[in-house]
Amino acid sequence: MEIKGKRVLVTGADGFIGSHLSETLVKEGAKVRALNYYNSFNNWGWLDSSDSVNEMEVVSGDVRDPHFCHGITKDIDIVFHLAALIAIPYSYVAPDAYVQTNVVGTLNICQAAKANNCERVIHTSTSEVYGTADYVPIDEKHQLKGQSPYSASKIGADAMAISFYNSFDTPITIARPFNTYGPRQSARAVIPTMISQIAAGAEMIKVGDLSPTRDFNYVEDTCRGFLAVAQSDKTIGEVVNIGSNYEISIRDTFELIKKVMNSNVEFEIDQSRIRPGKSEVQRLWADNSKIHELTGFKPLIGIEEGLDRTAKWFTDPENLKQYKTNIYNV
């Protein structure tokens, strides 16, 4: 399927990945309807600083409203569903909100896409649904484990999405990105929390557990993965990892960040940033052979280059001032 000329809806377009994906789709020649979470300030999130926003149709609303979802999917060819509550620490505090947004919101989008005969729905999952790896690299057949209310809500959302393919032949694909990072990411995530503290001049930065490993992916590659999945009919009805097939510990990531930022900063463990023991996902490492076999996709940006690009963005004072580097962003 060609993206150029297609009428595309991106839910969660105001967020980190969603804003980058919306920009990528504009560059590919798609007609983008970008869903921003409604607020009375008329704040469009990261779309407010996007050079491409004038080439999008920005609408504000809430995926928890089924009637609204039906309206925004009219005349849409492809839906990229990214709208979700994603912060793991906040899911310990407000798990019901995660069910309403992530599970019910996904149901509403699927029902709307079905009713409006959308050609494709790309539902966004997360590597957190796998929990701590039973084996590595993790392929799409790995069992799913709800180690946090967030991951449990995403397991439910994934199951809801694929049920529409199984029950109604709705052309749905579950795209499952591993740990995406890059410009605009919330400081609740480990890479921006380290980089932003260093950029703000901290001599001692606060961190959580440095022992877990992750499969980090630069946001540009994640967006390319979304496009590859959407353009291949072979991915319909499939779950597809988007990852690098490269594992690195948080501690080693910290050392790479120090290197690219030419910093001698040290760290201290902040207990408020430590997940409950059974909830921490200790190891994530993507098997990305399926997406390559189905679409030909492979990541292009290595970890050191991606961290360097990210650090350069955060050290721009205009970007850094949007972050509260002195507090823990749950």
Separation CA 212–CA 208 (nearest Å): 10
Distance of CA 328 to the CA centre of its chain: 20
Q: What is the pLDDT of residue 229?
A: 98
Cα-flanking dihedrals φ and ψ of residue 171, to 5°?
A: -75, 80
Distance of CA 154 to the CA centre of its chain: 12
Q: What is the pLDDT of residue 34?
A: 98
Q: What is the pLDDT of residue 60?
A: 98
Q: What is the pLDDT of residue 98?
A: 98
Nearest partner of 69 among 119, 28, 35, 39, judged by Cα: 35
3-state secondary structure of 253: helix
- The yes-or-no verdict on residue 329 having pLDDT over 80 is no
Q: What is the pLDDT of residue 310?
A: 98
Contact of 84 with 157, CB cutoff 8 Å: yes
272 falls in which pLDDT band (50, 70, 90)?
Answer: confident
pLDDT tens string 36-84: 999 999 999 999 999 999 999 999 999 999 999 999 999 999 999 999 9
Separation CA 214–CA 284 (nearest Å): 5
Burial classification of residue 81, based on how many CB atoms lie within 10 Å of its CB (0-12 exposed, 13-18 middle, 19 or more buried): buried
Separation CA 163–CA 248 (nearest Å): 34
105 falls in which pLDDT band (50, 70, 90)?
Answer: very high
- Other C-beta atoms lying within 10 Å of the C-beta of residue 217: 28
Q: Using alpha carbons only, how large is the chain's radius of gyration in Å? A: 19
Residue with tokens 């940033």: 273
- Return the amino acid letter for 210: L
Question: Which domains can be identified in the chain, with CATH numbers?
Answer: 7-180+216-242 (3.40.50.720), 183-214+246-284+302-320 (3.90.25.10)
Residues with Cβ within 8 Å of residue 64, at least 6 apart in sequence: 100, 101, 104, 105, 108
DSSP H/E element including 35: strand 31-37
For 38-101, give the secondary structure using H, E and C: CCCCCCCHHHHHCCCHHHCEEEEECCCCHHHHHHHCCCCCEEEECCCCCCHHHHHHCHHHHHHH
pLDDT tens string 123-157: 999 999 999 999 999 999 999 999 999 999 999 99
